[in-house]
């Protein structure tokens, strides 16, 4: 299996971390977003949307959209519950991540950290809506340990990368202690080097 991804991208890291957690083998093919690389003809032939991540299996099948990819990779694993309602709750968080979390936290982080833009030049809604998303997460994590229900699971992997990178986007995680604790717990589960503690 080939993963076409940019290692600076949280959407791509979701795929890598899911594979690493499950012990799935892959070849990582670095395709840098923000450079026009995803707009090349050969890449659009794989993913017409011109975005990483996208995964290709040896038989030629291709799958894009980070949360669709990790869902497929994790089917029948401990990362996805078998109970139908618990599965739907997990999907609730995956859709929320793509509509109410990633568009603010990931975009502000990319503008500042990857593109070097002045925070003052950015749409203020990126900050306010990102903070609102972090508040939702913090409130949730005051009542439960994981977004995936009783145990660590796929919703945690989906929400982790851009939450973990939030300080690079100018979000102060000190205001969200439950989120900070959860990041540390996820890092231990995935055996990642602690990042947030180092950037706080
Ligand atoms: N909803 C998509 C978003 C993918 C996405 O936005 N990918 C970015 C990198 S994080 C990209 O490839 N952008 C292309 C470009 O900017 O050239 C997913 O979850 O996979």
Sheet holding 27-30, edge to edge: 27-30, 2-5, 54-56, 62-64
Q: What is the pTM of this model?
A: 0.96
- Mutate which of 10, 33, 71, 102 to test ligand 1's pocket (most atoms within 8 Å of Cβ)? 33
pLDDT of residue 175: 96
What DSSP string runs through 38-98? GGSHHHHHH-TT--S-EEE-TTS-EEESHHHHHHHHHTTSTTS-SSHHHHHHHHHHHHHII
Give me the residues of the chain with pLDDT under 50, please: 200
Integer Cα distance of 191 and 194 in angstroms: 9
Atom of ligand 1 nearest to the CA of 54: 20
Select from 145, 152, 199 the least CA-distant residue to 173: 199
> Would you state the pLDDT for residue 195?
80
Q: What Å distances lie between residue 189 and 85, 153, 172, 186, CA to CA?
A: 24, 10, 23, 5
Measured from the Cα of 38, ligand 1's closest atom is 17
Q: What is the pLDDT of residue 198?
A: 63
Query: Please, what is the angle between helix 102-109 and helix 10-22, to 10°?
Result: 110
Q: Mutation test of ligand 1: which of 52, 63, 161 has the most ligand atoms closer than 8 Å to its C-beta?
A: 52
pLDDT value at position 200? 47
Task: Identify whether the C-beta of residue 158 lies closer than 8 Å to the C-beta of residue 93.
Answer: yes
pLDDT tens digits, 21-48? 999 999 999 999 999 999 999 999 999 9
Rg (CA), the chain: 17
Task: Output the ligand 1 site: residues, CB below 6 A.
Answer: 6, 9, 11, 33-34, 38, 50-53, 65-67, 98
pLDDT on residue 149: 85
Q: How far, in Å, is the centroid of ligand 1 from the Cα of 143?
A: 32
């Amino acid at each position: 299996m080939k993963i076409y991804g940019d290692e600076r991208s949280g959407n791509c890291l979701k795929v890598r971390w899911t594979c690493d957690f499950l012990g799935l083998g892959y070849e990582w093919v670095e395709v840098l977003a923000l450079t026009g690389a995803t707009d090349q003809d050969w890449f659009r032939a794989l993913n017409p949307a011109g975005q990483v991540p996208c995964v290709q299996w040896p038989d030629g099948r291709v799958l894009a959209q980070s949360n669709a990819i990790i869902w497929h990779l994790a089917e029948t694993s401990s990362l996805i519950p078998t109970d139908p309602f618990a599965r739907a709750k997990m999907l609730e968080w995956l859709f929320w991540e793509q509509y109410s979390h990633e568009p603010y936290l990931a975009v502000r982080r990319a503008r500042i950290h990857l593109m070097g833009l002045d925070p003052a030049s950015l749409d203020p809604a990126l900050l306010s809506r990102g903070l609102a998303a972090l508040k939702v997460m913090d409130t949730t994590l005051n009542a439960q340990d994981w977004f995936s229900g009783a145990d660590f699971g796929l919703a945690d992997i989906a929400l982790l990368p851009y939450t973990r990178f939030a300080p690079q986007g100018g979000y102060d995680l000190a205001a969200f202690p439950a989120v900070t604790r959860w990041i540390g717990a996820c890092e231990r589960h995935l055996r990642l080097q602690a990042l947030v503690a180092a950037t706080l």
